[in-house]
Amino acid sequence: MIKESELKPENASFRETVPAGDYFLKVVKAGETVRILDLEGNQAADTLFYNAHNPTERYSAVDTIREQGNVYLTAGSKLMSSENNVMLEITADTCGRHDTLGGACAAESNTTRYALEKKCMHACRDSWLVAVTEHEELGMTKRDITHNINFFMNVPVTADGGLTFADGISDAGKYVELKAAMDVLVMISNCPQLNNPCNAYNPTPIEVLVWS
Amino acid sequence: MLQSAAPLYDDLIPGGSHWSFIMRRGHVLRLIDETGGANVGMLMYNPENPLERYNMPDTLKNQHTFLLTKGHVLLSDMGRVFASIIRDDLGWHDTVSGTCNADQVEKRWGKKTYQEAHNHYHRNGFSSFLNELAKYGLGKKDLTANLNWFSKVKTDDDGNMAYVSDHSYAGATVDLRFEMDTIVVLHTCPHPLNTTPDYPRHPLRYQLFKAAPVTDADPCKISSPEATRAFANTALYHMMQS
């Protein structure tokens, strides 16, 4: 569902551009709104959310889709935690659909999906592993890396149980906006994937904005 | 694909229960829906390094599928094959709906405590997984998207999910051939989308067999280029072990 936001970028309390291949880590407080902006189009923002006070509680793809009864995410979707609590709600979305089943790229999954010799290519899980090891104060490790949302990616499920990777439906300037229902740690890998036609083999920057 | 027709071991897990064990590489775990209507939640870990675990997204996207059935492989997050589905009588198993927790079970089927009902108390999948995971030093951080054997959840063109009741039947069988040593954690608690009026309590019969050797023409191994490469990764892992 396409729903535009009334929030103005010039009123944001925080703005940061995240280049492809970098991670983004920030606590968004309950009541605040975070926008992820696809600056150049069809970029994947692979995102994990954690309860900022207890990272053992985290975004759960399966709880989210089951509780809303639909496999796609868009405006109105409530993102559920592994303990079935609402973490955030998507309050605006100019893209229309986001994927939460396809997971993230990893060096190891690149070997199976593309070719064994792709194993040394930079991948989303590597970005997250760097994020948690550079922030030891969070007490997080690979154990905390779980299923994520692929904002701006389109992965349709067919009625006979197929899973397809369709061309992106995002474009330059499209965005998704989420209002936090609890204090959440937002951890994004701005996807460095060079093998996927969805982004035309060209990963690009995103911008993250927060309104208090 | 079994070395002999007689199981090495045969056991029944009551409905609404949990159990776990280590499957060794080269063995088959046969899951049988004893009464019809079963749901078996399952998680998998590498006992050598439990940070390697079943990965739902990789399993689905590598095989371009939303359902699991014969011919599919169950992938770890390290690009390797925990198990191959070498037999499936049902054609559709769910791995996207997660598991039910205590609040959901109480809301749907009421609270039934141990004091009141003894071993017929209402267990839930979330607590059941944690109970078994703790036996291996694992916990909430290790919970991930689980498999739901014998359960079918389909979608329409708009992505709306529908639980298919009466999907499984008495005697329906799934054979999992393990390609790696694997911690198997399971529960027989209800599927989280099951709305049957009474708490569904269906046992699981499971049997262990020795697997026949996996050839280069094995249907799971050649089911897709992605599966072939995952088998190659698994073979490399075993080479390093020997």
At B60, the amino acid letter reads L
Cα gap A153→A9, rounded to integer Å: 23
The burial class, CB within 10 Å (0-12 / 13-18 / 19+), for A16 is exposed
Nearest CA in chain B to A65: B97
Looking at the structure of chain B, the number of domains it has is: 1
Cα gap A19→B129, rounded to integer Å: 39
Question: Which domain does A168 fall in, by range?
Answer: 18-211
Residue window 96-115, chain A: list those with CB within 8 Å of chain B.
101-104, 106, 108-109, 111-113, 115
CB distance B231 to B83 below 8 Å: no
Residue A145 inside a domain? The answer is yes
Nearest C-alpha neighbor of B21 from the set B52, B54, B47: B47
Contact B139 A56 (CB under 8 A): yes
Nearest C-alpha neighbor of B177 from the set B27, B31, B53: B27
Interface test with A, best of B97, B103, B124, B140 (most A CBs within 10 A): B140
At B192, the amino acid letter reads P
Residue B211 has pLDDT above 90, yes or no: yes
Q: Give the strand order in the sheet containing A14-18.
A: A14-18, A206-211, A33-38, A174-180, A86-93, A78-80
| pLDDT given at position A92 | 98
For the stretch B81-116, pLDDT in tens is 999 999 999 999 999 999 999 999 999 999 999 999
Question: Which domain does B158 fall in, by range?
Answer: 9-240
Looking at the structure of chain A, the number of domains it has is: 1
For the stretch B185-209, pLDDT in tens is 999 999 999 999 999 999 999 999 9
Nearest C-alpha neighbor of A43 from the set A185, A190, A184: A190
Residue B28's φ and ψ, nearest 5 degrees, are -115, 135
Residue B105 inside a domain? The answer is yes
Contact B61 A163 (CB under 8 A): yes
| pLDDT given at position B242 | 58
| pLDDT given at position B144 | 96
For the stretch B54-84, pLDDT in tens is 999 999 999 999 999 999 999 999 999 999 9
Chain B residues closer than 8 Å to A159 by CB: 154-157
Cα gap A37→A154, rounded to integer Å: 16
Chain B residues closer than 8 Å to A50 by CB: none
Interface test with A, best of B46, B93, B144, B179 (most A CBs within 10 A): B144
Count chain A–chain B contacts defined by CB atoms under 8 A: 131
Neighbours of B242 (CB within 10 A): 4
CB distance A191 to A20 below 8 Å: yes
Residue B4 inside a domain? The answer is no
In terms of phi and psi (left: phi > 0; alpha: psi -120 to 50; beta: otherwise), the region of B37 is: left
Residue B155 has pLDDT above 70, yes or no: yes
Helix and strand element counts for chain A (H, E)? 3, 10
Cα gap B33→A48, rounded to integer Å: 36
| pLDDT given at position A129 | 98
pTM: predicted TM-score of the whole model, two decimal places: 0.96
Chain B residues closer than 8 Å to A195 by CB: none
Residue A3 inside a domain? The answer is no
Chain A residues closer than 8 Å to B156 by CB: 159
Q: What angle do CA A194, A196, A199 make, to 5 degrees?
A: 85
Tell me what the mean pLDDT of segment B113-141 comes to: 97
Residue A4 inside a domain? The answer is no
| pLDDT given at position A196 | 83
Residue B59 inside a domain? The answer is yes
Residue A23 inside a domain? The answer is yes
Residue B57 inside a domain? The answer is yes
Contact B155 A147 (CB under 8 A): no
Q: What DSSP letter does each residue of B207-230 carry, written as one string?
A: EEEEBPPPPTT-TTTTS-HHHHHH
Question: With a cut of 70, which residues of chain A have pLDDT below it?
Answer: none
Tell me what the mean pLDDT of segment B126-151 comes to: 98
Long-range contacts, B135-138 (Cβ 8 Å, 24+): B135/B20, B136/B20, B136/B45, B136/B47, B136/B50, B136/B183, B137/B50, B138/B45, B138/B50
**Cα of B6 to nearest chain A Cα, Å:** 34
| pLDDT given at position A197 | 80
